[in-house]
Amino acid sequence: MDAFTTHTGTAAPLRRSNVDTDQIIPAEYLKRITRTGFEDGLFVAWRTNEPDFVLNQPQYADASILVAGPDFGTGSSREHANWALLDGGFRVVISARFADIFRNNSTKAGLLTVVLPQEQVEALWTAIEADPTTQVTVDLQSKEVTYRDVTVPFEVDDYVRWRLLEGLDDVGLTERNLDDIETFEAGRPAWLPRAIPASQG
Amino acid sequence: MPKTLAQKVYEAHVVRSAAGEPDLLYIDLHLVHEVTSPQAFDGLRAAGRTVRRPDLTMATEDHNVPTLDILAPIADPVSRAQIEALRKNAAEFGIRLAPMGDRDQGIVHVIGPQLGLTQPGMTIVCGDSHTSTHGAFGALAFGIGTSEVEHVLATQTLPQYEPKQMAVTVDGQLPPGVSAKDIILAVIAQIGTNGAQGHVIEYRGSAIEALSMESRMTICNMSIEAGAKAGLIAPDRTTLDFLQGRPHAPQGADWDAAVEHWSTLRTDEGAVFDREVVLDATTLTPFVTWGTNPGQGLPIAGTVPDPADFADEGERRDVEQALAYMGLQPGTPLRDIEVDTVFLGSCTNGRIEDLRVAAELLRGKRIDPETRMLVVPGSVGVKAQAEAEGLDRVFLDAGAEWRGAGCSMCLGMNPDQLKPGERSASTSNRNFQGRQGKGGRTHLVSPSVAAATALTGRLTAPADLTTVDV
């Protein structure tokens, strides 16, 4: 995973709430077995069917920060949604609320999710609609979103922040605790099921 | 200190706890399917890692599988490649796989309970948000992303924070024709798609205790649609009766030891929930969705809402967008909505009880000639059971299609899809835009509403059938 420290770019206003992961990338794109190359599926239905869709507007074509309505990333656990956003050039999604699995997947994939109060999201929408070239900086070190003369602090779990800043691999971190895992396994009840075929169990 | 059921299960699985870090939680069972696993296995290979506990890992083919000609090679080369990747990965890493054609194959959340792999007090994960289904047994079961699939494959653990606790209490007797699906759709409509965000829901109360395991699975399955981490129900006699004798259930002295442990899996008197919601089962009626998220539902006697009635600008925009997509006019009675397709199946409602309920309504009748009905059993086991009971004949004689097992039209990763503009009444779990096929429109319903709707061609409650000429 790439480390995330700070990012500056332009932002796209996605004035929709309850953006589910089926909208971010539909199931037909999930048949692929690769981990990259999902940009063609990103919001494909809205990009295809709605000429005015925000990402069809040339002034937002190069945006790297997505500013969405509340409850972004609901539904399916597909991490392809996070990959598609990254493949589509986004490094940050800002929303008043994220679905838990999407937010958790983001921390693994290196996409930063920033929770701001809805009124701050509205203010940011207004600013980037008035001037789509507005530079927005999301600084994970200082935990601040800055644009024009506005600076808004955001909360992020310290452990998640540390992992993102260092670009650390979770599996590697857990493997430091193998002794604890082995001790736990030794104490598990013998009657717990094993998935080997019953005839061999 | 008194604890909730979810807290007890969580705490019993903490491998390591340290200040300033997430807990490391042990995973008792990892279910795997073809869609969310290939990149995880690639990650293991790239890092030279193995699967730590192949014996606690079980794979099946469900999302992509065709429900017709299931023994022929999959026509779609991309789907076929994904299935082949799973077979190769399962063989390479020594994981048990139930492939197409196998008697144990089926939707991952149907086969776990069917095989007795899902048991009370376990932690269960799968790269699939409907893993919450297994909570019906008093397990802590939740969906994860592909990076976490890789993490569990490699370490049999996951870094986790203890979720908040929520109680949904449903008391009273359900009226006839009202089912578990109506309960959960009503819960989601009440609390919203984010109502349980960050929480584990424990479903309790006399209406929940009266439910079969199949019905409890329907309720826990859709916990994620309210934003919950997981949903669970305390194990009781119904749970034990379902489990006993299944292939992977403990036997003999092991069974007794397990039952003794399971009897402790109840929320203690005085345990505190962070949030509590109460529903009166006696007031519930069949519920259907009108919009494009599972929270946009109403009793079937209702009418399509008017965006003008929503004061909040965001909500008004949501409703406008949903109605535009669904092609619905405000004020239209829900019962007047005509459908093209009825889908009976999915991890929500593809179990034997669901098929029985629908078959009873269809027995000796013919579905509406303009309506297509797909019946897709949740597993090969469910299909065999239904055929042994003659339910396949009931569906076929009524004019429905009887298919092979899989996820099918719930998400249309196989050829079972809606065409643009087509409308379905579906027993699945998501009415998202395009979920069942590009441009398809979905109304979520219970199995009995699905069957009644198939008979009339428009959204219909089973109780309506006595007054409707079919």
- Chain A interface test: which of B14, B88, B129, B200 (most A C-beta within 10 Å): B129
User: In chain B, what residues touch A45 (CB-CB under 8 Å)?
Assistant: 433-434, 438
- pLDDT of amino acid A201: 41
With vertex at residue A77, the alpha carbon angle to CA A73 and CA A80, rounded to the nearest 5 degrees, is 80
Query: ipTM score of the complex?
Result: 0.96
User: In chain B, what residues touch A37 (CB-CB under 8 Å)?
Assistant: none
Of B21, B227, B257, the CB nearest to A74: B227
Lookup result for tokens 């428009």: B458
Residue A1 has pLDDT above 80, yes or no: no
String of DSSP letters for B293-310: STT-EEETTSBPPPGGG-
**Per-residue exposure over B429-448, b if at least 16 CB sit within 10 Å of its own CB, e if not:** bbbbbbbbbbbbbbbbbbbb
Residue B251 has pLDDT above 80, yes or no: yes
> What whole-number distance in Å separates Cα of residue A127 and Cα of residue B292?
29
User: In chain A, what residues touch B56 (CB-CB under 8 Å)?
Assistant: 194-195
Task: Please indicate if any CB of chain B lies within 8 Å of the CB of A182.
Answer: no
User: In chain B, what residues touch A188 (CB-CB under 8 Å)?
Assistant: 26, 28
> Nearest chain B Cα to A28, which residue?
B413
> Nearest chain A Cα to B94, which residue?
A196
Of A77, A174, A197, the CB nearest to B129: A77
- pLDDT of amino acid A199: 52
Cα dihedral B196, B239, B214, B300, rounded to 10, equals -50
pLDDT (tens digit per residue) in A31-90: 999 999 999 999 999 999 999 999 999 999 999 999 999 999 999 999 999 999 999 999
Lookup result for tokens 């040339």: A58
Average pLDDT for B134-154: 98
pLDDT classification of A26: cutoffs 50, 70, 90: very high
Task: Please indicate if any CB of chain B lies within 8 Å of the CB of A159.
Answer: yes
pLDDT (tens digit per residue) in B96-119: 999 999 999 999 999 999 999 999
String of DSSP letters for A69-125: -SSBTBS---THHHHHHHHTT--EEEES-B-HHHHHHHHHHT-EEEE--HHHHHHHH
The pLDDT mean for chain B works out to 97
> What whole-number distance in Å separates Cα of residue B197 and Cα of residue B307?
26
Residue B207 has pLDDT above 60, yes or no: yes
Closest CA to B330 of B361, B308, B313: B308
Structure token digits, residue A184 = 């736990």
> What whole-number distance in Å separates Cα of residue B288 and Cα of residue B181?
10
> What whole-number distance in Å separates Cα of residue A114 and Cα of residue B130?
26
Burial class (CB in 10 A: 0-12, 13-18, 19+), B238: middle
pLDDT (tens digit per residue) in B370-382: 999 999 999 999 9
Q: What separation in angstroms does the CA of B396 have from each of A40, B42, B366, B403? A: 41, 43, 9, 10
Residue A198 has pLDDT above 80, yes or no: no
Residue B230 has φ and ψ, to the nearest 5°, of: -165, 170
- pLDDT of amino acid B374: 98
> Nearest chain A Cα to B261, which residue?
A189
Cβ distance of A195 and B229 shorter than 8 Å = no
- Chain A interface test: which of B118, B193, B410 (most A C-beta within 10 Å): B193
Of B16, B57, B197, the CB nearest to A177: B16
User: In chain B, what residues touch A105 (CB-CB under 8 Å)?
Assistant: 145-148
pLDDT (tens digit per residue) in A115-168: 999 999 999 999 999 999 999 999 999 999 999 999 999 999 999 999 999 988
User: In chain A, what residues touch B95 (CB-CB under 8 Å)?
Assistant: 195
Burial class (CB in 10 A: 0-12, 13-18, 19+), A196: middle
Cα dihedral B201, B207, B213, B217, rounded to 10, equals -40
- pLDDT of amino acid B468: 55
User: In chain A, what residues touch B76 (CB-CB under 8 Å)?
Assistant: 31
> What whole-number distance in Å separates Cα of residue A75 and Cα of residue A98?
11
- pLDDT of amino acid A42: 98
Of A74, A78, A82, the CB nearest to B36: A78
pLDDT (tens digit per residue) in B16-68: 999 999 999 999 999 999 999 999 999 999 999 999 999 999 999 999 999 99
> What whole-number distance in Å separates Cα of residue B16 and Cα of residue B11?
10
pLDDT (tens digit per residue) in B338-354: 999 999 999 999 999 99
Read off the pTM: 0.97
Measured in angstroms, the CA of A189 and the nearest CA of chain B are apart by 9
Cβ distance of B78 and A79 shorter than 8 Å = no
> What whole-number distance in Å separates Cα of residue B437 and Cα of residue B256?
48
> What whole-number distance in Å separates Cα of residue B286 and Cα of residue B176?
10
* Sheet containing A144-147, strands listed edge to edge, beginning at the edge strand earlier in sequence: A6-9, A136-139, A144-147, A150-153
- pLDDT of amino acid B72: 86
Cβ distance of A181 and B127 shorter than 8 Å = no
Measured in angstroms, the CA of B40 and the nearest CA of chain A are apart by 9
> What whole-number distance in Å separates Cα of residue B459 and Cα of residue B335?
5
String of DSSP letters for A42-77: TTHHHHHH-TT-GGGSGGGTT--EEEE-SSBTBS--
- pLDDT of amino acid A200: 47
> What whole-number distance in Å separates Cα of residue B256 and Cα of residue B259?
5
More confident call, A197 vs B227: B227
- Chain B interface test: which of A87, A100, A175 (most B C-beta within 10 Å): A100
Cα dihedral B148, B57, B6, A185, rounded to 10, equals -100
Of A28, A105, A193, the CB nearest to B117: A193
Question: In chain B, what percentage of residues exceed pLDDT 70?
Answer: 99
User: In chain B, what residues touch A23 (CB-CB under 8 Å)?
Assistant: 432-434
Label the pairing between strands B372-375 and B441-444: unpaired
Structure token digits, residue A177 = 């605790």
With vertex at residue A180, the alpha carbon angle to CA B23 and CA B145, rounded to the nearest 5 degrees, is 45
Residue B470 has pLDDT above 90, yes or no: no
DSSP H or E run through B289: strand B287-289
Residue A197 has pLDDT above 80, yes or no: no
- pLDDT of amino acid B84: 97
Task: Please indicate if any CB of chain B lies within 8 Å of the CB of A36.
Answer: no
User: In chain A, what residues touch B198 (CB-CB under 8 Å)?
Assistant: 100
Phi/psi region, residue B20 (left: phi>0; alpha: psi -120 to 50; beta: rest), is: left
How many other β-carbons are positioned within 10 Å of the β-carbon of residue A155? 10
Residue B405 has pLDDT above 70, yes or no: yes
**A&B contacts, CB < 8 Å:** 207
Structure token digits, residue A142 = 């200082």
> Nearest chain B Cα to A17, which residue?
B318
pLDDT classification of B467: cutoffs 50, 70, 90: low
Give me Rg for the CA atoms of chain A: 20
Question: In chain B, what percentage of residues exceed pLDDT 90?
Answer: 97
- pLDDT of amino acid B70: 81
Half-sphere exposure of B180 (CA within 13 A, CB side): 29
